[in-house]
Structure 1
Amino acid sequence: MDSRRLAPRLLASWQRSERYGLSPEEMRPVFTGSVDTASLLYECGHEALRGLRGTLANEAVSMMIADSDGLVLCRMCDDASISRSLDRVHLAPGFSFAERDVGTNGLGLALADRAPSLVRADEHYCAGLRGYTCAAAPVLDPVTGAVAGSVNLTTWSDSSSGLLLALAQATAGNTTALMLARGTGRKGRSLPPPGRVFRVYADRYEQPDDAHRPLSPGWTDALATARTALVRGRVVAVVGDPGAGKTALLSAARRQMGARERLLSARPPAPGEVDAWLRLWTPELEKDSTCVVVSGVDRLPAWAATELAGLFGRVRRTGGEGSGRMQPFAVTAQRYAAIPDALSPLIDTVVEVPALRLRPDDILPLARHFAHRYRGRAVTFTPAATRALTSYDWPENVRQLRRVVREAAARTDVIDTRHLPAEVFTRSGGHLTRLQLLERDEIVRCLTEPGTTVARAAAKLGMGRATVYRKMARYGIQVPGGRGGTGS
Structure 2
Amino acid sequence: MDELARAGRTSGAPTVRGPRLSASWQRSHSYGAPTDRVDPVFIGTVGDDSLFFRCGQEVLGGLQETLANEPVSLMLTDEAGHVLSRACHDRTLVDALDRSYLAPGFAFSEREAGTNGLGLALADRAPSLVRGEEHYCTGLWNYTCAAVPVTDPVHGRLLGSVNLTTWSRKSANLLLALAQTAAGHTSALMLSRGHGLRPHPTPRGEVFRVNTAARPDSPSPQLSPDWETALAEVQCALAAGRSVGVVGERGAGKTALLSAALCRAHPRDRILNARPPEPRDTEPWLTLWTPELGKGNTSVIAAGVDALPSWAATELAEIVTTRARRPITVTAREATAIPEALSRIVDTVVEIPPLRRRPDDILALAEHFGTRARNRRVRFTPKAARTLRTYHWPDNVAQLRRVVREAANRSDVVDTRHLPPEVLCGPTRTLTRIETVERDEIVRCLAEPGTTVTRAAEILGMSRATIYRKISQYGIRTPR
TM-score over 0.5 (shorter chain): yes
Instruction: Check if 1:393 corresponds to 2:404.
Output: no
Q: How much does 1:22 deviate?
A: 1.8
Instruction: Check if 1:294 corresponds to 2:269.
Output: no
Counterpart of 2:299 in 1: which secondary structure? strand
Amino acid at match of 1:419: H
Q: How much does 1:203 deviate?
A: 7.0
Distance 1:23 1:190, change over 3 A: closer
Tell me the distance in 2 between the aligned counterparts of 1:397 and 1:77.
43
Write out per-residue CA displacement over residues 84-106 of structure 1, whole angstroms, 9 at most, x where no aligned residue.
Answer: 32232122233222222111100
Amino acid at match of 1:448: A
Tell me the distance in 1 between the aligned counterparts of 2:420 and 2:187.
29
Amino acid at match of 2:35: P
Amino acid at match of 2:188: A
Q: State how 1:164-313 maps to structure 2 within 5 Å.
A: 164-181=175-192, 183-185=193-195, 187-202=197-212, 204=214, 214-257=222-265, 259-313=267-321
Tell me the distance in 2 between the aligned counterparts of 1:28 and 1:97.
9
Q: How much does 1:397 deviate?
A: 1.3
Q: 2:203 touches 2:276 (CA, 8 Å); kept in 1?
A: no
Q: How much does 1:356 deviate?
A: 1.7
Tell me the distance in 2 between the aligned counterparts of 1:79 and 1:397.
48
Tell me the distance in 1 between the aligned counterparts of 2:149 and 2:274.
23
Write out per-residue CA displacement over residues 374-405 of structure 1, whole angstroms, 9 at most, x where no aligned residue.
Answer: 11222222222222222222221111110001
Q: 2:252 touches 2:396 (CA, 8 Å); kept in 1?
A: yes
Q: 2:132 touches 2:144 (CA, 8 Å); kept in 1?
A: yes
Q: 1:205 touches 1:366 (CA, 8 Å); kept in 2?
A: no
Q: 2:153 touches 2:200 (CA, 8 Å); kept in 1?
A: no
Distance 1:81 1:273, change over 3 A: same
Tell me the distance in 1 between the aligned counterparts of 2:65 and 2:387.
55
Counterpart of 2:300 in 1: which secondary structure? strand
Counterpart of 1:342 in 2: which secondary structure? helix
Counterpart of 1:96 in 2: which secondary structure? coil
Counterpart of 2:322 in 1: which secondary structure? helix
Match of 2:369 in 1: 370
Q: 1:205 touches 1:365 (CA, 8 Å); kept in 2?
A: no
Q: How much does 1:156 deviate?
A: 2.4
Q: State how 1:357-436 maps to structure 2 within 5 Å.
A: 357-436=356-435
Tell me the distance in 2 between the aligned counterparts of 1:152 and 1:27.
18
Higher mean Cα deviation, 188-197 or 331-340? 188-197
Q: State how 1:304-383 maps to structure 2 within 5 Å.
A: 304-317=312-325, 326-327=326-327, 329-383=328-382
Give the % identical residues: 58
Tell me the distance in 2 between the aligned counterparts of 1:386 and 1:459.
28
Higher mean Cα deviation, 67-76 or 417-426? 67-76
Tell me the distance in 2 between the aligned counterparts of 1:206 and 1:228.
27
Tell me the distance in 1 between the aligned counterparts of 2:331 and 2:81.
25
Q: How much does 1:49 deviate?
A: 2.6
Instruction: Check if 1:75 corresponds to 2:74.
Output: no
Q: 2:43 touches 2:105 (CA, 8 Å); kept in 1?
A: yes
The number of aligned residues is 469
Higher mean Cα deviation, 306-315 or 52-61? 52-61
Q: 1:144 touches 1:188 (CA, 8 Å); kept in 2?
A: no
Counterpart of 1:87 in 2: which secondary structure? helix
Q: 1:185 touches 1:434 (CA, 8 Å); kept in 2?
A: yes
Q: TM-score, normalised by structure 1?
A: 0.89
Write out per-residue CA displacement over residues 452-484 of structure 1, whole angstroms, 9 at most, x where no aligned residue.
Answer: 22222222222222322222121111134x2xx
Distance 1:436 1:203, change over 3 A: farther
Tell me the distance in 2 between the aligned counterparts of 1:335 and 1:240.
6
Counterpart of 1:429 in 2: which secondary structure? coil
Write out per-residue CA displacement over residues 424-473 of structure 1, whole angstroms, 9 at most, x where no aligned residue.
Answer: 11113311111111111111111111122222222222222232222212
Q: 2:356 touches 2:392 (CA, 8 Å); kept in 1?
A: yes
Of residues 1, 11, 19, the one that matches 1:8 is 19
Q: 2:363 touches 2:388 (CA, 8 Å); kept in 1?
A: yes
Q: How much does 1:28 deviate?
A: 0.4
Q: CA RMSD in A?
A: 2.4
Of residues 97, 110, 119, the one that matches 1:99 is 110
Q: How much does 1:206 deviate?
A: 9.9
Amino acid at match of 1:132: Y
Match of 1:443 in 2: 442
Q: TM-score, normalised by structure 2?
A: 0.91
Which segments of structure 1 move beyond 6 Å, counting only runs of 4 or more?
205-208
Q: How much does 1:370 deviate?
A: 1.1
Tell me the distance in 1 between the aligned counterparts of 2:426 and 2:414.
21
Q: How much does 1:151 deviate?
A: 1.6
Tell me the distance in 2 between the aligned counterparts of 1:242 and 1:74.
29
Q: How much does 1:407 deviate?
A: 0.6
Match of 1:485 in 2: none
Tell me the distance in 2 between the aligned counterparts of 1:333 and 1:38.
26
Amino acid at match of 2:421: A
Q: How much does 1:5 deviate?
A: 4.3
Tell me the distance in 1 between the aligned counterparts of 2:152 and 2:126.
14
Amino acid at match of 1:396: D
